[in-house]
Chains A and B, each alone.
Chain A
Amino acid sequence: MSTLTLEDVAKRYPNGVDAVAGIDIEVADGECLVLVGPSGCGKSTLLRMIAGLETLTAGTIRVGAEDVTTAPPKDRDVAMVFQSYALYPHMTVAENLGFGLKMAKVPKAEAATRVADVARTLGLAELLERKPAALSGGQRQRVAMGRAIVREPKLFLMDEPLSNLDAKLRGAMRSELVRLHERLGVTTVYVTHDQTEAMTLGDRVAVLLDGKLQQLDTPTRLFERPANVFVAGFIGSPPMNLVRAEIAAGEISFGSHRLPVPAGRTPAEGPVILGIRPTDIALDPAGMAAPAPLGVTIDLVERLGAELQLEFPVDAPRYSPEAVAEDDGEAQLLSDDSRARFVALVRAGAAIAIGESTQVQVDLSRIHLFDPATGEARRA
């Protein structure tokens, strides 16, 4: 177990792509840090640099107090779970699990005990003599996990380890990973493009875009105080409703809609991007700190069990940062023009009139304002 320090780490590939630029991250001992971001944002590159599989263009990497910037992978005492699992196809499960111990010259008897222990923990005991080709996807995934765990390294590195499992198995493995991390307490860097996975697994989450760190924070703070409009749109499901708006005379207006500027805030007048979480819109103002009505026409209701997902058009131009555009293709198909569509998550039970004008409540104390030029959050 150990800390991990990244100082001003950068990677430019020979083809000129700046995959990672100026990353400063400190991972505490025993912490699980999740790197999250859309595909191609440099997550794998950064992880591979920590592992020693890619050289750095600039910066320093330290494991504990030791500078490992130029150390070969074998001298870093890290274990990695690959997205492809990367099992040794010619070895049995037992040999796969024990390979790292064999290379570390751990005595045979001890190695055998450790392999057996890990195999039992992960439910692989019956499969020890099989080759990877004879395993299911979920079993291969567990062998890949086991191969990392058995080494008892200073650092776990995981590159989208669950992305090739089906949804149900992924959910189960996610909770298993949380338990595993709590029990082993090994410092972990976990890469995923799935924000739900990031929010459930990470003690802290680092959001990356185009190789640059957007925000590094606890899941709660990422959700409640996104640093910029990209993080706001990327974190949370369904994503935050974003719309171009105008602030003037104590009012936030978008299209024909008006909301008062929240009490205690003094945002600069002029154009702004307004963000409202689907969970901060309700039919019933009870329980809201600062409810304000919004007149809308609900045209779509989806029943999700205990909750209803309402959708309604708002009379203002849509704003979609990259990630929202990517994740939300379906919603865009539904909208027949470039107007924004809002999504609200409300408790089931209320009677809802589809297609008639009605009022929803917005919790003003929880709305987000972003600078339209820089995308940075406006705190004032």
Chain B
Amino acid sequence: MPKSKSAYSIPGKIGKTERHIIVVWVDNEAGVLARIAGLFSGRGYNIESLAVAEVDKKKHISRITIVTEGTPQVIEQINLQLKKLVPVHKVADFKRGEKDILFRELALFKMLANSKKQEKIKKLCKKFNPVVLDKTKKSFVIQVTALRAEIDKLALDLKRFGLISTSRTGSVAMTKGAKIFN
């Protein structure tokens, strides 16, 4: 007899994981986000970030962008399971690093900084479309848009400049050129 004391089989090998960005078009109705989130949590999939908003006011369609990580088999399951949900219209799936896709995240940083420091901060953020949203003698709120890794790094760098609050969105995505997801 095997030493296993379980009525279940023992786990097999786990494959290499990949990071994917999954875009889902859904009816913007009550509970739809719970259905999507519940599918992920219930099946043990992982949500790294999530961005949702209605994109079609007339048809009440929301676009959800989910960043997730999993083996190719798991990613395929996520796609297929999402497509089975009644309020889901379509699902698009991109591997992180694909060439034809644009990704952006937005972040707001609040810092305690005098005007001299503020100039340095602006310089640091220069590459990331900085917009100063609020400014006092002592404090400073700046908005940047960039890729996730860039924002991660920026947040680290800003620590030295009196960063006291960070607010970030999940990633949103769009194809390059005239093509759209179908």
Bind each other: no
Residues on A close to B: CB < 8 A?
Answer: none
